[in-house]
């Protein structure tokens, strides 16, 4: 078999010394443009600018009524006015206070449910049955009931918020716990972790990507529910800061009643801004310091 | 006895007069799948003495990893007993540290150093943070990962991850270190390197290690004593000495002889199995 047909036998060689002189740059600094276009925020912001420009051009050229679609510039002006003289920020604060209260209580209940579900089969059955039943139910559908039970006030809104927070958070955390690898579980037990310590030191960090996912979904549901509930309830709730009554949803509703459409748009814009801020600043910061740093989630 | 090389020469005869550190006696292990109750090992028994590099060798399905899980305390034998220093094993504990094949055995949310400190702290090995830090750094140096102590596991190569796992296991100074095919997921060159490093570490401290592998060559290089197991269910086929063999012997006469001997033992089963399968098909 020494003469294999169809193979061209060539002479062998070994390099005596590998020169570095002619290889060129092994590592090259990226150019400024490459670095800027790599930044997520820059790319996303430029899309936003495009949308705004298109909006402004369309409203100017088409002559569409201000009552149907106000110009971007008018919306921006209304936003400025609302912030400066109509206490929009205080209203946002009112909304956030209710939201954070509901979110925090919701997390506490979700933690209890998930812990019970992890510890026992009965808890597991309770969580999966309740989630299957209640998760598809829109929180806003509970509002009439909440009115009946808690009266016209922040309590009723918090009740509906709980519903929108608990199920996605508990469900995701539970799925996260279940999907922690067998090896990591064995490692935890090997070093003597048991019971709640085992949950706190091993399961929670190991399941953190899913837990964070649940927190984000819970937040988004809660934010939508809150605005919707405020649109219905109006200004009689949440007088937490001096002078301003009602929250952001009420701001939108009241201005629609007054046909202040630019203000309605300004209100909607604020809803978006708050949403984007929480998603891209707060949650992003948490992700950067945890799951991304640990390599558990792609950048 | 004079033929034994290295520091094993001084250690081995002494071991013969001491008590075994680990005693596995007539152990039958079973586990359930969705449809079957599987007997992984049937009445397996062996003794491990201090400073042994004891290898469990066999083809897949011979229950060698299951035996290790039994010793680690993750599984209870349905028959027989597993005793460490005379005490029956009932649950996992830091006196038997396991090094797994899977790279995800390192906790991804902790750095290299924090992974070791986590083990020391939760295993009750150290009281103060400074002490844990010192021990962690000592073992990081031992496995040649100085400079990587603050790196997160996902930034490390497979070989480096296994080194951290070994450092974490050794830092605990367990009565016996359990290694479940720790190098099986590595490339051939890295595996060779890791085997050498493991033997060097052993030269330093003469820890007791139980090593599971399905590679005859690896068993002969790494092990001082080899338990050959046959599959379905796992049973003990033979117990052989390999303390006189290491990397330098690979390919020479006595190495090949033992290698061939084990190969024949395992291969005899293989032929039988093939015949059974062939018979099943017709």
CA angle, residues A199, A202, A207, in degrees to nearest 5: 90
- Kindly determine whether residue A191 and residue B154, on different chains, have CB atoms separated by under 8 Å: no
If residue B60 lies in a helix (H) or strand (E), which one and from where to where? none
**In chain B, which residues have their Cβ closer than 8 Å to the Cβ of A192?**
92-94, 122-124
**In chain A, which residues have their Cβ closer than 8 Å to the Cβ of B97?**
190-191
Please give the pLDDT value at position B24: 83
Q: Is residue B263 part of a domain?
A: yes
The verdict on B128 and B265 lying in the same domain is: no
State whether residue A195 sits within 8 Å of chain B by CB: no
Domain carrying residue B187: 1-6+51-73+87-95+176-282
Q: Is residue B217 part of a domain?
A: yes
**In chain B, which residues have their Cβ closer than 8 Å to the Cβ of A295?**
108, 152-155
Q: What is the DSSP string of chain A?
A: --S-TT---------S---STTS--SS-PPPHHHHHHT-HHHHHHHHHHHHHHHHHHHHHHH---TTTS--HHHHHHHHHHHHHHS-HHHHHHHHHHHHHHHHHHHHHHHHHHHHHHHH-HHHHHHHHHHHHHHTTS-GGGGHHHHHHHH-SSHHHHHHHHHHHHHHHHHHHHHHHHHTS-HHHHHHHHHTT--HHHHIIIIIHHHTHHHHHHHHHHHHHHHHHHHHHHHHHHGGGS---SSS--S-HHHHHHHHHHTT-HHHHHHHHHHHHHHHHHIIIIIIHHHHHHTTTTTTSS--
**CATH class, range A65-289:** mainly alpha
State whether residue B95 sits within 8 Å of chain A by CB: no
Q: Is A82's pLDDT higher than 90? A: no
- Mean pLDDT over residues B150-171, rounded? 88
Q: Is residue B111 part of a domain?
A: yes
Picking from B68, B61, B30, the residue whose alpha carbon sits closest to that of residue B46 is B68
B135-154 per-residue burial string, b: 16 or more CB within 10 A, e: under 16: bbbebbebbebeebbeebbe
- Kindly determine whether residue A295 and residue B72, on different chains, have CB atoms separated by under 8 Å: no
Mean pLDDT, chain A, integer: 84
Please give the pLDDT value at position A25: 67
Q: Which stretch of A67-71, B47-51, B58-62, B150-154 has the lowest confidence by average pLDDT? A: B58-62
The verdict on B159 and B182 lying in the same domain is: no
Please give the pLDDT value at position B73: 87
- Mean pLDDT over residues B9-21, rounded? 57
**In chain B, which residues have their Cβ closer than 8 Å to the Cβ of A191?**
94, 97, 118-119, 122-123, 172
Number of other residues whose CB lies within 10 A of the CB of residue A175: 15
Q: Which of A186, A193, A295 sits opposite B98 (nearest CB)?
A: A186
Q: Is A149's pLDDT higher than 60? A: yes
The verdict on B91 and B199 lying in the same domain is: yes
A positions 204-243 inside 8 Å of B (CB): 205-206, 208
Q: Which of B118, B148, B173 is where one domain is finished?
A: B173
The SS3 assignment for B2 reads coil
Please give the pLDDT value at position A107: 93
The verdict on B59 and B164 lying in the same domain is: no
Q: Which stretch of A65-74, B5-14, B64-73, B257-266 has the lowest confidence by average pLDDT? A: B5-14
- At B276, the pLDDT band (50, 70, 90 cuts) reads low
Higher-confidence residue of A24 and B232: namely B232
Adjacent-strand bridge partners of A91? none
**In chain A, which residues have their Cβ closer than 8 Å to the Cβ of B92?**
186, 189-190, 192
Which residue of chain A has the CA closest to B96? Answer: A190
Q: Is residue B214 part of a domain?
A: yes
| Alpha carbon distance A199, A291 (integer Å) | 18
- At B248, the pLDDT band (50, 70, 90 cuts) reads confident
> Has the ipTM of the complex gone over 0.95?
no
Please give the pLDDT value at position B4: 40
State whether residue B170 sits within 8 Å of chain A by CB: no
The verdict on B108 and B164 lying in the same domain is: yes
Q: Which of B173, B201, B232 is where one domain is finished?
A: B173
Overall domain count for chain B: 2
Please give the pLDDT value at position A102: 92
Distance set, CA B1 to CA A267, A273, B6, B225 (Å): 89, 80, 12, 15
The verdict on B166 and B199 lying in the same domain is: no
Q: Which of B98, B123, B152 sits opposite A294 (nearest CB)?
A: B152
> Most A CBs within 10 Å: which of B31, B74, B108, B125, as the mutation test of the A interface?
B108
- At A231, the pLDDT band (50, 70, 90 cuts) reads confident
| Alpha carbon distance A291, A297 (integer Å) | 6
The verdict on B211 and B256 lying in the same domain is: yes
Q: Which of B72, B98, B104 sits opposite A181 (nearest CB)?
A: B104
pTM of the model: 0.77
The verdict on B211 and B264 lying in the same domain is: yes
Distance set, CA B252 to CA B4, B46, B276 (Å): 16, 29, 35
Picking from A221, A248, A32, A232, the residue whose alpha carbon sits closest to that of residue A138 is A221
- At A298, the pLDDT band (50, 70, 90 cuts) reads low
pLDDT digits (tens, 9 = 90+) for A22-73: 666 667 788 888 888 877 778 888 888 999 999 999 988 988 888 888 888 8
Q: Is A165's pLDDT higher than 80? A: yes
Please give the pLDDT value at position A19: 64
The verdict on B279 and B185 lying in the same domain is: yes
- At B212, the pLDDT band (50, 70, 90 cuts) reads very high
| Alpha carbon distance A24, A41 (integer Å) | 33
B positions 127-166 inside 8 Å of A (CB): 152-155
Output the domain CATH number for residue B218.
3.40.50.300
The verdict on B147 and B257 lying in the same domain is: no
Number of other residues whose CB lies within 10 A of the CB of residue A73: 14
Q: Is A127's pLDDT higher than 80? A: yes
- Kindly determine whether residue B154 and residue A295, on different chains, have CB atoms separated by under 8 Å: yes
The verdict on B112 and B169 lying in the same domain is: yes
Q: Is B111's pLDDT higher than 80? A: yes
The verdict on B276 and B214 lying in the same domain is: yes
């Amino acid at each position: 078999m020494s003469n294999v047909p169809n193979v061209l036998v060539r002479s062998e060689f070994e390099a005596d010394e590998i020169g570095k002189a002619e290889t060129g740059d092994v590592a090259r600094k990226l150019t400024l443009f490459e670095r800027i276009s790599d930044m997520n925020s820059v790319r996303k912001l430029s899309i936003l600018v495009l949308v705004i420009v298109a909006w402004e051009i369309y409203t100017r050229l088409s002559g569409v009524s201000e009552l149907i679609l106000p110009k971007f510039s008018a919306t921006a002006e209304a936003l400025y006015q609302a912030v400066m003289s109509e206490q929009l920020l205080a209203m946002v604060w009112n909304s956030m206070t209710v939201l954070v209260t509901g979110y925090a209580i919701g997390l506490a209940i979700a933690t209890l449910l998930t812990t019970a579900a992890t510890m026992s089969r009965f808890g597991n059955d309770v969580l999966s049955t309740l989630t299957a039943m209640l998760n598809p139910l829109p929180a806003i559908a509970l509002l009439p009931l909440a009115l009946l039970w808690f009266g016209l006030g922040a309590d009723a809104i918090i009740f509906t918020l709980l519903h929108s927070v608990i199920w996605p958070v508990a469900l995701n955390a539970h799925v996260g716990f279940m999907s922690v690898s067998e090896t990591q579980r064995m490692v935890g037990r090997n070093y003597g972790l048991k019971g709640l310590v085992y949950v706190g030191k091993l399961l929670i960090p190991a399941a953190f990507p899913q837990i964070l996912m649940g927190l984000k979904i819970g937040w988004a549901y809660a934010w939508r529910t809150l605005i919707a509930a405020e649109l219905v309830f109006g200004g009689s709730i949440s007088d937490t800061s001096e002078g301003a009554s009602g929250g952001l949803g009420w701001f939108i509703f009241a201005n629609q009643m007054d046909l202040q459409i630019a203000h309605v748009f300004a209100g909607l814009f604020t809803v978006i801004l708050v949403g984007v801020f929480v998603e891209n600043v707060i949650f992003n910061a948490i992700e950067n310091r945890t799951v991304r740093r640990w390599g558990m989630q792609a950048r | 006895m004079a033929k034994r090389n290295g520091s094993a020469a001084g250690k081995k005869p002494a071991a013969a007069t001491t008590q075994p550190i680990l005693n596995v006696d007539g152990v039958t292990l079973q586990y359930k799948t969705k449809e079957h109750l599987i007997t992984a090992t049937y009445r397996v028994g062996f003794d491990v003495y201090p400073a042994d590099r004891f290898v469990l060798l066999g083809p897949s399905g011979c229950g060698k990893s299951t035996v290790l899980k039994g010793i680690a305390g993750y599984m209870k034998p349905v028959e027989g007993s597993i005793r460490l220093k005379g005490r029956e094993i009932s649950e996992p504990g830091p006196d038997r540290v396991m090094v797994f094949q899977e790279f995800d055995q390192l906790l991804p949310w902790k750095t290299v150093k924090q992974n070791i400190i986590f083990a020391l702290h939760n295993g009750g090995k150290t009281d103060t943070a400074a002490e844990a830090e010192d021990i962690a750094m000592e073992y990081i140096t031992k496995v040649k990962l100085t400079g990587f102590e603050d790196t997160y596991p996902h930034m490390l190569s497979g070989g480096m991850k296994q080194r951290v796992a070994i450092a974490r296991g050794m830092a605990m100074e367990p009565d016996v270190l359990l290694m479940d095919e720790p190098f099986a997921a590595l490339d051939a060159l890295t595996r060779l390197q890791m085997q050498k490093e493991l033997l060097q570490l052993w030269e330093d401290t003469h820890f007791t290690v139980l090593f599971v592998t399905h590679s005859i060559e690896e068993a002969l290089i790494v092990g001082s004593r080899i338990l050959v197991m046959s599959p379905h269910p796992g049973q003990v086929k033979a117990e052989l000495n390999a303390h006189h063999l290491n990397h330098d012997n690979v390919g020479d006469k006595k190495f090949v002889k033992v290698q061939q001997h084990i190969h024949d033992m395992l291969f005899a089963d293989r032929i039988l199995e093939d015949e059974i399968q062939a018979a099943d098909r017709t």
